[in-house]
Amino acid sequence: TPVIGVLALQGDVREHLGALTEQGARAVPVRRPEELAAVDGLVLPGGESTTIVKLAARFGLLEPLRAAVQAGLPAYGSCAGMILLADRILDAPPDQETVGGLDVTVRRNAFGRQVDSFESEVDLGLDGGPLRAVFIRAPWVEKAGEGVEVLGRVVGGAADDRIVAVRQGNLVATSFHPELTGDRRVHALFVDIVRRHLAERAGADADDEKG
């Protein structure tokens, strides 16, 4: 069973823990470097990215988070979590740091000029058709690097065609909050990424032993 942590400094931690448990993972809150070191994957929840990153720095977690993601730890960020995983951010306080890892430029509160919260259908190309996505003071991906796979875009309205879901290797990010709806397909996708990563690592370790 994969052990998947949820960064538990601020935000909708409980909802992610529940969604991951439903998908067969052992879900654990992560507040300390030792807890981070013990997980096979990590979810960065929705909440307030400015607060989460400040608390991460204060708890001595920011550098360990960066190192873990760079070392290939699978991570999924929803909303504020997407901001945390982005290499570059716009409309953020000038000193706002990120964990990074995702080669994207993310604009905070990007939809905010029109509306604070809304729901929309987003097609991620998953079995079962488009999903109902909940956006709350959400960011969007303004620019994605070459190695980034665009999983979903807004269709219609003022934000037509804006990128709201991406994947780069073991990193996934969504502008919206699948943890707040009953649709578990994004969490299922992430748990699957974690399982594959674990299996690959087990294979690599076995090869090492064969020498």
Closest CB to ligand GLN among residues 4, 83? 83
The distance from CA 121 to its chain's CA centroid, rounded to whole angstroms, is 19
Total residues binding ligand GLN (CB under 6 A): 11
Q: What is the CA radius of gyration of the chain?
A: 16
Q: What is the DSSP letter of 182?
A: S
Structure tokens at 181: 């709806």
Q: What is the DSSP letter of 148?
A: P
* Nearest distance in Å: CB 83, ligand GLN: 5
* Nearest distance in Å: CB 97, ligand GLN: 13
3-state secondary structure 66-130: HHHHHCCCCEEEECHHHHHHEEEEECCCCCCCCCCCEEEEEECCCCCCCCCEEEEEECCCCCCCC
State the catalytic residues.
Answer: 79, 177, 179
The residue within the footprint of ligand GLN, chosen from 16, 107, 108, 197 (CB under 6 A), is 108
| Contact region with ligand GLN (CB under 6 A), list: 32-40, 76-84, 98-106, 160-168 | 76-84
**Cα(28)–Cα(14) distance, rounded to whole angstroms?**
10
Is residue 47 near ligand GLN by the rule CB under 6 A?
yes
**Cα(30)–Cα(50) distance, rounded to whole angstroms?**
18
Residue 211: count other Cβ atoms within 10 Å of its Cβ.
4
Closest CB to ligand GLN among residues 80, 197? 80
* Nearest distance in Å: CB 109, ligand GLN: 5
Closest CB to ligand GLN among residues 73, 83? 83
The helix, strand and coil proportions of the chain, stated in percent and rounded to the nearest 5, come to 35, 30, 40
Is residue 80 near ligand GLN by the rule CB under 6 A?
yes
Is residue 54 near ligand GLN by the rule CB under 6 A?
no
**Cα(139)–Cα(21) distance, rounded to whole angstroms?**
26
Site for ligand GLN in 168-207 (CB under 6 A): none
The residue within the footprint of ligand GLN, chosen from 83, 151, 193, 194 (CB under 6 A), is 83
Is residue 6 near ligand GLN by the rule CB under 6 A?
no
Residues placed in the known binding site for L-glutamine: 47-49, 108, 136-137
Q: What is the contact surface with ligand GLN in residues (CB under 6 A)?
A: 46-49, 79-80, 83, 108-109, 136-137
